[in-house]
Structure 1
Amino acid sequence: MLYVLFSVVCSVTVSVILKLARRYEVDTTQIIVWNYPVAVLCTWGFLQPVWTPTVMADAPFGLYGTLAVLLPGIFVALGASIRYAGIVRTEVAQRLSLFISLIAAFLLFGETPQSAKLAGVAVGVVGILCSIGWHKGKNQYGLNHRVWLYPVVIFFGYGIVDILFKQVAQHTDVPYTTSMLMVFLLAMGVAFIYLAYHIMGAKKRFSVHAIFWGMVLGGFNFANILFYMRAHRALPDNPSIVFTGMNVGVIALGALIGIFLFQEKLSFINKIGIILAVISVLMIAYL
């Protein structure tokens, strides 16, 4: 469970870094760009993927390319959601995006629907609607109630990304670590193209500080993945424990940090939504 704890802490730290970056007026888009070189180097160094012409001949480059385009865009949306909707709502939306992949498992991957898991999804849908709901009028960010759109984008975006990664994993001729490296390499290329547009097209100022912030972000982002993978290896017979610990842990720690460190305001309905989110994860894992 120590690996699960480390993964939870690293996951929430990513959100905290993006939140603090705005406070210190560092361009989060550029931070996200510089996260990818770190992800590539860490994947190469820690996971040691197999890289041979035979392996690469069978690689699903169409899926790699799709993920390479989606990942930087979803990451930018994550930063915007954390800024405007807050860490609590964003973490709930990101964690409950598992419902998208769970439904896809029934519809696309041939898994048999289970009534208990479907009930968990139903509870989770109510939970996410309650947790991201906003009263009409201005909030503490000076924006109107349509801010809930940011967590909705995160919910569907990360759900789609998870489905694509599951499809990548089905290509058993290519080791998953190799696929991860290819996705990060291509995503880094897309991110640098966007950075070039950001600087030259949109006339944004290049930020040296963003390089440092991006390296730190990339380190924690990769550590989250690494510890999560090691948690599954350490508990091969108890995947539900890892699944539950990760998702409930991130929701709970994100809520504590959002409320007490950043003074995010939650309504009574929002709090009910967070509780329902936790219940839904437990139902999916154990019923």
Structure 2
Amino acid sequence: MHFLILAILCSVSVSVLFKLVKRYNVTTEQMVAFGYVVALSLTYFLLTPDFKGLGFTEYVLQSESNWIFLTLGVLLPLGFIIMSKAVEHGGIVRTDAAQRLALFLQIIAAVVIFGEAITEMKTYGVIVAFFALFGLLYKPAGSLGNAKIAALSLAGVWLIWGTTGILFKIIALQGDGGVSLFMSFACAMVIMFTYLLIKRTQWTAPSLLAGIVLGVLNFGNILFYIKAHQFYKESPTIVYATMDVGVICLGTIIGAFAFKERISKVNIAGIALGILAILLLRL
């Protein structure tokens, strides 16, 4: 259970980090780029990926999964950038809920792509998830611009996290272990630094420090999540349900009490429906 607790803490801490860095001279793109340097290094030294005697470039050219690595290389950093906007305009509570509700996209993919039989409960879960998303994306029209940005960024978090989860599922089925994480982090890092160099960004020390923290939390979230699945290898439902519900609940508590985030009754209903949808999808 301690692996699950650590994974939940790391996941919610990423949202908290994005909330806090707005107070300092931190450039989100730089933070994300430096974060992938740290995540890549930790993956290499702790997970020791096996490239089967090939170098990095050779592996990319010869691998049949290079389209997956490249797609993840774009989606992973883009997801963090959009997530920062979602936290800023939509709050930690709804961002974490939208991220976890990406689960129902993966359930649909499990049926359409992986040929899994869908149960009656999962069908109900998908329906409830749609209503939950409407509740989470709703924001009272006090500031129309911010409301639009909040809705678009929350929808972006939901879509990108769902898509990346599906791609990681495909990679997991191919059985290449830590290599998938290493390749995806490497592609994301190259893309982010190339973009920043072209942009001629002015590098800042706070962005570097925030990136180190982000990289550790990102890697820790993935590592502890994998460890939890290994520990509960006979009961993956425990991991899925506990992780998703735990993140939403902890995110709600921190957002409401630590950052005084205003949550409407519609949003609260959306969170409640989100938890119900996740439980139904896992039955």
Shift of 1:89: 0.8
**Equivalent-residue separation in structure 1 for 2:22 and 2:262 (angstroms):** 18
Which sits farther off after the overlay, 6-15 or 54-63? 54-63
**Structure 1 residue 25 corresponds to structure 2 residue 28:** no
Q: Which residue of 2 aligns with 1:15?
A: 15
Q: Which residue of 2 aligns with 1:171?
A: 174
Shift of 1:143: 2.5
Match of 2:67 among 57, 62, 67: 62
Shift of 1:171: 2.2
Structure 1 unmatched runs, 5+: none
Q: Which residue of 1 aligns with 2:129?
A: 124
**Equivalent-residue separation in structure 2 for 1:116 and 1:25 (angstroms):** 47
Residue type of the partner of 1:255? Answer: T
Report the TM-score, using the length of structure 2 for normalisation: 0.93
Q: Which residue of 2 aligns with 1:218?
A: 215
Q: Which residue of 2 aligns with 1:266?
A: 263
Q: Which residue of 1 aligns with 2:272?
A: 275
**Equivalent-residue separation in structure 2 for 1:144 and 1:112 (angstroms):** 38
Q: Which residue of 2 aligns with 1:207?
A: 204
8 A contact 1:59–1:179 mirrored in 2:
no
Structure 2 unmatched runs, 5+: none
Task: List per-residue Cα deviations over 1:202-244 (Å, max 9, x = no partner).
Answer: xx43212111110011001100111111111111111111111
Q: Which residue of 2 aligns with 1:4?
A: 4
Report the TM-score, using the length of structure 1 for normalisation: 0.92
Residue type of the partner of 2:151? Answer: W
Shift of 1:176: 2.2
**Equivalent-residue separation in structure 2 for 1:66 and 1:24 (angstroms):** 31
* Secondary structure, aligned partner of 1:85: helix
Task: List per-residue Cα deviations over 1:90-119 (Å, max 9, x = no partner).
Answer: 101100001111101111111112121111
For these two proteins, the number of residue pairs brought into alignment is 278
**Equivalent-residue separation in structure 2 for 1:144 and 1:248 (angstroms):** 26
* Secondary structure, aligned partner of 2:15: helix
**Equivalent-residue separation in structure 2 for 1:137 and 1:216 (angstroms):** 34
4+ runs of 1 displaced by more than 6 Å? Answer: none
Q: Which residue of 1 aligns with 2:154?
A: 151
**Equivalent-residue separation in structure 2 for 1:206 and 1:47 (angstroms):** 30
8 A contact 2:18–2:87 mirrored in 1:
yes
Q: Percent identity?
A: 36
Task: List per-residue Cα deviations over 1:68-102 (Å, max 9, x = no partner).
Answer: 11111111111111111111111011000011111
